[in-house]
A and B are shown apart, each in its own frame.
Chain A
């Protein structure tokens, strides 16, 4: 039900589509923007446009990248034999803060979740298999979230990769059960990297 004049309602509808923004918050943000100085609103609009124009997925690891490759894939000092698998680009940020990991990443862009219709096919798994055969990867570190979907994804990948004779480890201890990597503090996550273990498959 449209309660406001055209452009205002459009703005509320668009904001309401963002993750974590309910109808009430959408309304609040819309009116905040309407009251804001014109240059503030334009700067926000421009930064959205810029980000969409300039940022895309790294064609190797599917992290966000400006250009073809992301900063980690371009960095020759990173150890290409170690590959850390994460669900989302924001997980890379969390891991980088620990300064424990000097390898490269692969972003699945999600986790297995039948409820949401996400299976291995919807994730960047095929691309991962290509990389493993092509880049001399010796160890895969599964750093998916320690919740049901993340564990399922890790277990699925372990079963897929182990027969290929590759070392597969899972970051483990210290992570809060049912939590997200994003919310783990640096010390906990750092310990989790040191204490990574082989996965049963």
Chain B
């Protein structure tokens, strides 16, 4: 891969961002290892870089958590370099109220206007939840990948969430007059539109992702494993596959009719992608409940690596890779497999202790007491 294809973050300025009152940091392409004690702010640095890509924290916290205590706002400024192009992102992240975000000095209205500026893959110790956790974790994994591939999936997601809230409010009210019936019909149609787009996206994504997951699993575990996945939707009679993508609209419509009474009784929406699961099957056993801890860890790593590989293939550039303290959780064979697959893009690795063997960092940064020193 040529260097011009890689987008990377060059300058980061933080003001009142978590424990950093004032930080000016230069980053470079290649591998940077960030060393520091637990709680020193290593993850917060990664969080700042992740924010550039998605305008939200990957830690699943609201923006107010990013603002240093006693301040009204955090400021994040970053230069993103992609080939010849240099873009400036400036964000005022507010403890209360709306953030102000500027891209190249122009205010942006919606998060998805940041699309394509920077893509980020994150590995974190709790990635194990991708396998062990509930269906929501796996849906989010798929939807985040879709969002990186095309902004319309993020649009479909936020549309769907909004339709769901409106429709649930209507169902909860219990359709008291005939107008409510005709209003429900309208929200049904919107649920089908946004919902079908999400399901179609997930099915097509899974078809491309599956061989990569198998490949990565074999690479990490050193042995082959019969790995399968089924996309299960309560509203469809059988698991769905890529070939069903064009039928999804109709399946959703039929299910809405069939389950209308049940939805009215319970006052919530039962039909739609918000309740689906992607069930991973390893050696004919449900990976979530029946695989060993070691297999689950390998699988979680394979999911992240496969996602990273897919985004690299389809977007033509490796996303920035953020590895948050992942080596402490991996045994030597898995760690070295991860290192072998480290792609050529910008990589930031945090560690509390030793540099993992085989990682060849171009730079070291030491984080302590709200400052960062290059070593």
Binding site for B on A (CB under 8 A): 22, 24, 112-115, 119-121, 147-149, 151-152, 155-156, 159-160, 176-179, 183
Segment among B157-165, B251-259, B288-296 that sits at the interface with chain A: B157-165
Complex Cα gap A50–B167 (Å) = 41
A115 nearest in chain B by CB position: B169
List the 6 closest A-B pairs by CB distance, nearest first: A114-B169, A114-B170, A148-B162, A155-B186, A115-B169, A152-B186
A-B contact pairs, 25 of them (CB 8 A): A24-B96, A112-B186, A114-B183, A114-B187, A115-B165, A115-B166, A115-B169, A120-B179, A120-B183, A121-B177, A147-B162, A148-B159, A148-B162, A152-B190, A155-B186, A155-B189, A155-B190, A156-B182, A156-B186, A159-B182, A159-B185, A159-B186, A160-B182, A177-B155, A177-B159
Please determine whether A119 and B97 come into contact, CB atoms closer than 8 angstroms.
no
Q: With A and B bound together, what is the CA distance between A32 and B182 in angstroms?
A: 49
Q: How far is the CA of A151 from the CA of B97 in the complex (A)?
A: 27
Contact B163 A148 (CB under 8 A): yes
How many B residues touch A, CB cutoff 8 Å?
Answer: 25
Q: Check if B159 sits within 8 Å of A178, measured CB to CB.
A: yes
One digit per residue, 1 when the CB lies within 8 angstroms of any chain A CB and 0 when it does not, for chain B 144-156 equals: 0000000000010
Partner of A152, one of B96, B173, B183: B183
* A22-B97, A152-B166 as given contacts; A119 in contact with B183, CB under 8 Å: yes
Give me 17 other A-B pairs in contact (C-beta within 8 A), A114-B187, A156-B186, A177-B155 excluded: A24-B96, A112-B186, A115-B165, A115-B169, A119-B180, A120-B183, A148-B159, A148-B190, A151-B190, A152-B166, A152-B187, A155-B190, A159-B185, A176-B109, A176-B110, A179-B109, A183-B109
Query: A121 — which chain B residues lie within 8 A by C-beta?
Result: 177, 179
Contacts of B182 in A (CB 8 A): 120, 156, 159-160
Is the pair B166, A114 in contact by a Cβ cutoff of 8 Å?
Answer: yes
Which B residues are in CB contact (< 8 Å) with A113?
166
Nearest Cβ on chain B to A128's Cβ, whole angstroms = 14
Q: Tell me the nearest residue of chain B to A122, going by C-beta.
A: B179
Which of B158, B173, B187 gathers the greatest number of chain A CB atoms within 10 Å? Answer: B187
How far, in Å, is A114 (CB) from chain B's closest CB?
4
Q: Is the CB of B166 within 8 A of A148?
A: yes
CA distance A121 to B180 in the complex (A): 10
Q: Which residue of A lies closest to B180 (CB)?
A: A119
- Select from chain B the residue with minimum beta-carbon distance to A160: B182
Q: With a CB–CB cut-off of 8 A, which chain A residues contact B97?
A: 22
* Residues A112 and B163 in contact, CB atoms below 8 Å apart: no
B171's nearest neighbour on chain A, judged by CB, is: A114
Q: Is the CB of B155 within 8 A of A178?
A: yes
- A-side contacts of B167, CB under 8 Å: 114
Among B158, B163, B165, B183, the most chain A Cβ lie within 10 Å of the Cβ of: B183
The interface residues of chain B lying within 8 Å CB-to-CB of A183 are 109
Complexed CA–CA distance, A121 and B173 (Å)? 15
Complex partner residue of A156 from B96, B158, B183, CB under 8 angstroms: B183
Q: Is B110 within 8 A of A178, CB to CB?
A: yes
Chain B, residue nearest A121 (CB): B179
- B44 to chain A minimum Cβ distance, whole angstroms, is 26
Please, which residues of chain B bring their CB within 8 A of the CB of A22?
96-97
Q: Given the complex of chains A and B, what is the CA–CA distance between A151 and B162 in angstroms?
A: 12
Please encode chain B, from 174 to 218, with 1 for each CB lying within 8 Å of some chain A CB and 0 for all others: 000101101101110110000000000000000000000000000
Do A114 and B190 have beta carbons less than 8 Å apart?
Answer: no
Return chain B residues, CB-CB under 8 Å to A147. 162
Instruction: Give Cα A179–Cα B166 distance, bound, in whole angstroms.
Output: 17
Question: Contact at A149–B186, with CB atoms within 8 Å?
Answer: no
A128 to B255, CA, bound (A): 34
